Amino acid sequence: MRIEQQPAYVLHARAYRETSLLLECLTREHGRLGVVARGVRGERSRLRRAQLEPFQPLVLDLLLRGELATLTAVEVVDTPARLSGDAGLAGLYLNELVVRLTGRQDPHPLLFDAYARTLARLAAGESLAWSLRRFERDLLEAIGYGLQLQHDADTGEAIEPAACYRYVAEQGAMRCAAGSPRALRGSDLLALEQDEMPDSVGLKELRDMMREVIRFHLGGGELRAWRVLAMAVSRRP
C-alpha cells in the first residue's frame, strides 16, 4: 500500500544492515509504523540523516508491505522542536511511552495531535511534569484506556475536591482514608480532568498515580526513561 504525504515524527532510529536505518515512526493516520530508510547512513545518500532525527515534524511518502514500510520520500515541514536540557530527556520519555503503549499500524490521530502539542509545550519551556501528565492522560484516552476522573467508581457520585481517592487502573477513583498509600486529593483528579495545573503536591500525586496506571497497561513492566528522568532530577542542585 502506498501512503503519501503522511504527517509523522520519528520516535526512534537504529542501524539496519550496512547503511540503512530502521525507524519507529508515529504517523497521523496509520499510527506507529516500522519504517526502513534505505541507504541513509551512506555517504552518497540523497536523504540526510539529520532529517530523520526525533522531534522533527515530517511529511513522509511510504510503501507499506506487510509488517514494515519503506521510506520513499521525506520532507521536513518545520524546524524541529528544540528540546534542550531536561526537556530532551522528557522527549525521550514520550517516545518510549508511545512505542511501549501502542501497537504498530494502530491508527490514533488524536494521539498524534497530543504528541505534537506536547513537543511544542516542552520546547516552549512549560512545566515538564504537567506537560507529561497531560500527555499521558491524552495518550491513554486516545488508545482507549481513558481515565475516569469525574465520578467515584464505587458509588458513581461526583468526585469531591476535598476528599481523598485512590486510583485503580481499569476501575477508576475510589474513596479512601487520607494518608493511605497512593492517596490523592479529589481536587488533583479534577485538575487533570479540567486541564488546570495543580500545585506541586498535586503534580507529585498525579505522577505516582500515572505510573501505576501505565505500569498496569505495560503488564507490570517499567519504563527505562523513568530512571533517566529520576536521576536527572535528583542531580539538580
Please work out the total of residues on this chain that contact other proteins, with binding judged by CB under 8 A: 38
Q: What is the largest CA-CA distance in the chain?
A: 65
- CB nearer other proteins, residue 60 or residue 149: 60
Burial 85-100 (b: 16+ CB within 10 A, else e): eebbbbbbbbbbbbeb
What is the spatial distance between Cα 67 and Cα 75, in angstroms, rounded to a whole number?
23
What is the spatial distance between Cα 64 and Cα 6, in angstroms, rounded to a whole number?
12
For other proteins, the binding residue among 4, 29, 42, 53 (CB under 8 A) is: 53
Contact set for other proteins, span 91-120 (CB under 8 A): 91-93, 95-96, 99
Written as one letter, the residue type at 66 is G
Contact set for other proteins, span 15-34 (CB under 8 A): 17-18, 24
Closest by CA to 169, choosing from 97, 118, 219, is: 219
For other proteins, the binding residue among 5, 65, 79, 155 (CB under 8 A) is: 79
A 10 A CB-CB count for 5 gives: 9
Work out how close the CB of 117 gets to other proteins at its nearest, in angstroms, rounded to a whole number. 19
What is the spatial distance between Cα 3 and Cα 71, in angstroms, rounded to a whole number?
10
Binding segment (CB under 8 A) for other proteins, from list 77-85, 117-125, 131-139, 180-188: 77-85
In the numeric block, the cell 484506556 is attached to: 145
For other proteins, the binding residue among 83, 132, 140, 173 (CB under 8 A) is: 83
Cβ within 8 Å of residue 13, ≥6 positions away: 21, 22, 23, 24, 37, 52, 53, 54
Contact set for other proteins, span 211-230 (CB under 8 A): 223-225, 227-228
- CB nearer other proteins, residue 86 or residue 160: 86
Work out how close the CB of 93 gets to other proteins at its nearest, in angstroms, rounded to a whole number. 7
Does position 68 interact with other proteins (CB under 8 A)? The reply is no
Which positions touch other proteins (CB under 8 A)? 11-12, 14, 17-18, 24, 48, 50-51, 53-56, 76, 79-80, 83-86, 88-89, 91-93, 95-96, 99, 223-225, 227-228, 231-232, 235-237
